[in-house]
Structure 1
Amino acid sequence: MYTPPAFRIDDRQRLVATIRDAGLATLVTATVEGLMATPLPLLLDETEGPHGTLYGHLARANPQGRLPAIGGEALAMFSGPDAYVTPAFYATKQETGRVVPTWNYVAVHAYGTLELFDDPDRLLNLVRRLTERHEASRPMPWSVADAPEDFIRAQLRGIVGLRLQISRIEGKCKASQNRPAADREGVAAGLAASDRPADREMAALVAAAPP
């Protein structure tokens, strides 16, 4: 990922927060049949490895779950808030007109060795952990134990588990840090007035980002 120094995220907790907040990731692998990508939720275990380990599962029918990754490496991509930035937000537009549109965004890319597994007990533990994470905020959380055991076991036969121990991780927050202060103020104000939640999230990032 191309990341100019002004946009680079070095803080580990910020990287972890982006991964946790993203919910859905995109898993990318290079295979003998070409590049493959699958959107899927991933669970980060910070206790495994220097950068943590990601867990998730693929449908057994998905060819990405049966074709080895060339070189064994895979990429998991996570996205945070993003927003279109119109030149109309910039004070520079009124001064010189020498401005163009851009897009602000947050992204984290995690690389590592991909392991696939289909042990039923290991899959069950993974599904339980994923479920608990995403049900935790609900007033009456659904539990895997709420479904009949034979039904769950049958469902597990339709998936393949994955484990990606992160070997390197990159983070980027493009939040108008490269613009003059007056332009950044205009972007923050313009996005804050939007009805789109991601725009308002980006507005807060722009306001907080150092120049």
Structure 2
Amino acid sequence: MPVYNPPAFREDRPEVLLRLMQQSGLCLLVSNGRSGVPDITHLPLQTNGKIVVGHMARANPHWKALREAGRAIAVFPGPDGYISPNSYPSKAENHRAVPTWNYETVHAEGPIEIVEDAGRLRDIVTALTDQHEAGSATPWSVSDAPADYLASQLKGIVGVVLTVETLTGKRKLSQNRNEADREGARIGLGGQNEALVQAMLRSRDGD
């Protein structure tokens, strides 16, 4: 079943979806399990909007289930946080308010390939490492590791490459409230969740 996504929260713009995906940290890779319960792995993922790439431990049986299932959904979470009814100015007027949770997320669905070739695995690990080391003053590089050690580590993982067929974006950021309530919700976060505040401001500005 696709994610529940009322029109007020639906996000379809490709450039916004790509930004959200590329800013996401720890993601979820989900596929149908044999027992009827989904198989789920937490892992960082890299994407250009057309493919989603990552790797997992070879000891994790999920990769075999992924090969059998042939399809998967990659879930890219964004900032999220609790919104108290006390944040809304309208609550003081009519008390017609309840708690909610604001968040952003993108789901990428499509066929998935399992990668065991050592050269491709090294490329996957290198690209993901370079992405996350980019902000460091002294970035670590895969080539910093001894060749024999790196080879042994690559034997312990498998790569995953999901070809994106469907993207579903949801940005639940108080768009169903009036502007005074939305501003109250941002103030109510009290500087404790700046990433969510900025997401709410972008949604207000149409970005």
Partners of 1:9 and 1:69 in 2: CA distance: 30
**1:155-208: per-residue Cα shift (whole Å, max 9, x none)?**
0000011110011000011111111222112112222x2323444334534653
Identity of aligned residues (%): 42
How far off is 1:10 after superposition?
1.4
- Structure 1, unaligned stretches of length 5 or more? 47-51
Partners of 1:176 and 1:140 in 2: CA distance: 40
Q: Which residue among 34, 59, 66 is the counterpart of 1:61? A: 59
Report the count of equivalent residues: 204
Partners of 2:85 and 2:67 in 1: CA distance: 42
Q: Which residue among 27, 40, 47 is the counterpart of 2:43? A: 40
Q: Is the deviation greater in 176-185 or in 120-129? A: 176-185
- Secondary structure at 1:17's aligned position in 2? helix
Match of 2:89 in 1: 91
Q: Contact 1:90–1:186 at 8 Å: present in 2 too?
A: yes
- The 1:73/1:40 distance shift into structure 2, 3 A limit, reads same
Q: Contact 1:8–1:172 at 8 Å: present in 2 too?
A: yes
The one-letter code matched in structure 2 to 1:179 is R
Runs in 1 of length 4+ with deviation above 3 angstroms? Answer: 68-71, 196-203, 205-210
- Secondary structure at 1:31's aligned position in 2? coil
- Secondary structure at 2:38's aligned position in 1? strand
The answer to whether structure 1 residue 189 and structure 2 residue 187 are counterparts is yes
The one-letter code matched in structure 2 to 1:39 is H
Superposed CA RMSD: 1.8
TM-score, structure 1 as length reference? 0.90
- Secondary structure at 1:178's aligned position in 2? coil
Partners of 2:199 and 2:14 in 1: CA distance: 20
TM-score, structure 2 as length reference? 0.91
The one-letter code matched in structure 2 to 1:142 is W
How far off is 1:53 after superposition?
0.2
- Secondary structure at 2:65's aligned position in 1? coil
- Structure 2, unaligned stretches of length 5 or more? none
Match of 2:22 in 1: 20
- Secondary structure at 2:109's aligned position in 1? strand
- The 1:209/1:68 distance shift into structure 2, 3 A limit, reads closer
Match of 1:176 in 2: 174
